[in-house]
Amino acid sequence: MLTPVSTQRAPDGSPFQLVTLKNPAGTTATFMDWGATWLSFVLPLADGERRELLLGCQSPEEYVNQSAYLGATVGRYANRIARSQFQIDCKPHLLVANQGVHQLHGGPEGFNARRWKILNYTEQKVSFQLVSPDGDQGYPGELTAEVHYVLTDDNRLEISYKAQVDKLCPVNLTNHAYFNLDGEGHDVRKHRLQLFAERFLPIDSDGIPCADLTSVQQTGMDFRTPKTLAQDFLKDRDQQRVKGYDHAYLLYATCNASDNPAANLWSSDDKVKMTVFTSAPALQLYTGNFLNGTPNRTGGQYANYSGVALESEFLPDSPNHSTWPQPSCWIKPGQTYRSATVYQFFAL
């Protein structure tokens, strides 16, 4: 169902357009063209409750006034690029900075802050497209991106990305949904998480990688066996630098977008489980350490740790680290960037 929101205008002066998908189980997933943003996911539970599992704002225009990237499609390069630069042909190439000297999530006007074109939609599918011009946020070449969302009968939200460029450019697209499987207004640290990764990337207080990939063994970063986010919260110096978990994990090489999950997450009341599958090499675990003040669904504000993001990505700052054990993030003209992530929800 397509709903133009006629009373509120986006920064480009046109109305926001919302699309709601619905499956035969009664689950709904809502998206908007601004930022190709995932606004809502409502799952019917066994006891009749219909539970909202995503953080979000009360109205579309509030998304423009927040810097948490709630549900947004993030690009061209999700996560951070140190000092907003990389090398092309051994020459420094400068991007537009938006977090001190660094670039975060594609720059000050990243893909989250753009009107995406709705290519088509049906009851259980919607596709968006964005053309990003040469030089956009400092990136070389024109890039055409597509994101496809499919809501399956078995409550999988399948997200697939595709992009092409006309100049060599690093590409890293993700969705920045924050989940709270207990519903709105609960501390997400009570959730149990399992993450299929043996190594994570240490970062400095700016979120910039500051050491090589490091084993999670015997640290609070280890989620190979399920544990609550609270259990080892702030235990490691790595967490203390950034007020909690805000780290990229290199997934097991066997993880994929269909049958070997990257992560499992359980609500604290054990009524909802989410499983994440992805073709991406890494997952950023972010416990909402800086969510304070973000507009919520009821006209109030979120507190820190109100939701958790599990962002499928290349490792942060990959354009400057060609030796890390993952596929190249650089896309050449004629090649197609593809990435797929599935969030599957279970009412237990």
Closer residue to ligand BGC in complex, CB, 66/152: 66
Binding ligand BGC by CB under 6 A: which of 223, 286, 337, 345?
A: 286
Residue numbers 306-345 binding ligand BGC by CB under 6 A: 311
282 is in an annotated binding site: no
| Residue numbers 229-248 binding ligand BGC by CB under 6 A | 246
Provide the minimum distance between the beta carbon of 288 and ligand BGC in the complex, in angstroms, as a whole number: 8
Nearer to ligand BGC (CB atom), residue 121 or residue 324: 324
CA angle 254, 72, 153 (to 5 degrees): 60
68 binds ligand BGC (CB under 6 A): yes
> Is 186 labeled as ligand-binding?
no
| CA–CA distance, 32 with 105 (Å, rounded to integer) | 19
User: From the CB of 174, what's the least distance to ligand BGC, in Å?
Assistant: 8
Question: Using CA atoms, how far apart are residues 313 and 286, in angstroms rounded to an integer?
Answer: 13
Give the pairing type, strands 282-286 and 308-313: antiparallel
Q: How far is the CB of 283 from ligand BGC (least distance, A)?
A: 11
Give the type of residue at 112.
Answer: N
Q: Which residues contact 5 (CB under 8 A, 6 or more apart)?
A: 15, 16, 17, 18, 59, 60
Based on the shown chain and the rule CB under 6 A, indicate whether residue 290 belongs to the binding site for ligand BGC: yes
Residues 6+ apart with CB under 8 A from 179: 53, 54, 55, 188, 265, 274, 307, 308, 309, 310, 343
Q: How far apart are CA 340 and CA 173, in angstroms?
A: 10
Q: What is the C-alpha separation between 15 and 6, in angstroms, rounded?
A: 6
Minimum CB distance to ligand BGC, residue 111 (Å): 14
Site for ligand BGC, residues 193 to 212, rule: CB under 6 A: 207
> Which residue among the candidates 146, 158, 184, 311 is catalytic per the annotation?
311
Q: Which window, 56-64, 81-89, 149-157, 283-291, contacts ligand BGC (CB under 6 A)?
A: 283-291
Tell me the C-alpha distance between 341 and 300, whole Å. 31
Is 98 known as a binding-site position? no
Rounded Cα distance between 244 and 222, Å, is: 14
> Any catalytic annotation for residue 176?
yes
CB 224 within 8 A of CB 209: no
78 vs 257 by CB, closer to ligand BGC: 78
Name the nearest CA neighbour of 267 among 49, 59, 32, 39: 49
Nearer Cβ to ligand BGC, position 54 or 68?
A: 68
Catalytic residue (one of 105, 176, 191, 321) = 176
Residue 69 binds ligand BGC (CB under 6 A): yes
Helices (H), 72-218: none
Is 50 labeled as ligand-binding? no
* Residue 177 among known ligand-binding residues: yes
Q: Is 109 a catalytic residue?
A: no
**Binders of ligand BGC in range 19-48 (CB under 6 A):** none
Was 178 annotated as part of a binding site? Answer: yes
Residues in contact with 90: Cβ distance below 8 Å, sequence separation at least 6, in sequence order: none
Minimum distance of ligand BGC from residue 132's CB (angstroms): 19
The vertex-132 CA angle with 129 and 138, nearest 5°, equals 150
Which of the residues 94 through 133 are near ligand BGC (CB under 6 A)?
104
Kindly give, in sequence order, each residue whose CB lies less than 8 Å from that of residue 334, ignoring residues fewer than 6 positions away. none
Q: SS3 for 237? A: helix
* Least distance (Å) between residue 14 CB and ligand BGC: 26
Is 184 a binding residue for ligand BGC by CB under 6 A? The answer is no
Q: Which residues are catalytic?
A: 176, 311
Binding site, annotated residues: 79-80, 176-178, 246
- Interface residues with ligand BGC (CB under 6 A) are 68-69, 104, 207, 246, 284, 286, 290, 311
